[in-house]
């Protein structure tokens, strides 16, 4: 705590400070119900968090944090904006539609396609958010939780780049979790599967040092 002439100086609380906004969003999401992936149909756009509770050894530290109904740390954080929001402006008059449900369904398909993952081991929380706050909410949640699929294994949220546009490298996520048909047509990944697994292991060991192997 800062002081002036030996007297503590208390920083005024600012509800619009980025950190406080992040805590507010995180609390709202954490208080939302847990759903199987994909969830039942609903209307809305917003942010979401995916949780892993399975037995894949690479994610044991993370899964142990989420088992027993605790769901403390997401493996991935993402957003879904209304289609009109991508055209610029604030999308204040754009209908949300099923943007969030569609995104979660796409993720379910990616996980189902992976040869070493089981969709039954995944759950989600989601929060329908006013359009203007969606990107900020996603960024703040990623900053707060630093999920491994956001920070280390890039590419989980990628789409098929389309025919004739496969000059890019295979996403890290697909290298560790092969199975998506379109990913095999991309250029080889920048790292080997074992190198990426080492990166994940080190990252989770640093993130959750008290968890047992």
Residue ranges of domains in the chain: 15-154
Contact 181, 108 (CB under 8 A): no
Query: Given the structure tokens 């709202």, which residue do they identify?
Result: 28
In this prediction, residue 13 has a pLDDT band, given cuts at 50, 70 and 90, of low
Beta strands (DSSP E) in 95-165 are 122-128
The pLDDT score that the predictor gives to residue 95 is: 67
Query: Given the structure tokens 């599967």, which residue do they identify?
Result: 193
| Dihedral Cα 88, 91, 94, 99, nearest 10 deg | 80
CA 3, CA 5: separation in Å to the nearest integer? 7
Quick one: what percent of the chain has pLDDT higher than 70? 85
Give the model confidence (pLDDT) of 94-134 as tens digits: 567 899 999 999 999 999 999 999 999 999 999 998 888 88
Give the model confidence (pLDDT) of 124-164 as tens digits: 999 998 888 888 889 889 999 999 999 999 999 998 887 66
Nearest of 151, 155, 158, 157 to residue 202 by alpha carbon: 151
CA 58, CA 56: separation in Å to the nearest integer? 6
In this prediction, residue 176 has a pLDDT band, given cuts at 50, 70 and 90, of very high
Residues 6 or more apart whose CB falls under 8 angstroms from that of 2 comprise 8, 9, 11
**Average confidence score pLDDT of the chain:** 88
């Amino acid at each position: 705590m800062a002081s002036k002439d030996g007297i503590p100086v208390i920083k005024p609380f600012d509800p619009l400070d980025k950190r406080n906004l992040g805590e507010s969003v995180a609390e709202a999401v954490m208080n939302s119900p847990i759903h199987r992936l994909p969830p039942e149909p609903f209307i809305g756009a917003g942010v979401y968090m995916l949780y892993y509770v399975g037995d894949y050894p690479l994610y044991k530290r993370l899964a142990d944090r989420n088992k027993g109904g605790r769901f403390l740390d997401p493996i991935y954080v993402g957003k879904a904006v209304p289609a009109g929001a991508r055209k610029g402006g604030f999308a204040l008059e754009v209908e949300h539609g099923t943007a969030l449900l569609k995104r979660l369904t796409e993720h379910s398909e990616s996980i189902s396609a992976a040869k070493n993952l089981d969709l039954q081991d995944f759950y989600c929380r989601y929060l329908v958010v006013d359009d203007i706050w969606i990107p900020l909410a996603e960024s703040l949640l990623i900053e707060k939780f630093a999920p491994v699929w956001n920070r280390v294994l890039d590419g989980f949220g990628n789409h098929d780049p389309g025919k004739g546009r496969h000059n890019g490298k295979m996403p890290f996520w697909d290298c560790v979790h092969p199975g998506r048909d379109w990913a095999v047509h991309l250029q080889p990944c920048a790292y080997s599967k074992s190198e990426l697994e080492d990166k994940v292991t080190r990252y989770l060991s640093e993130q959750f040092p008290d968890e047992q192997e």
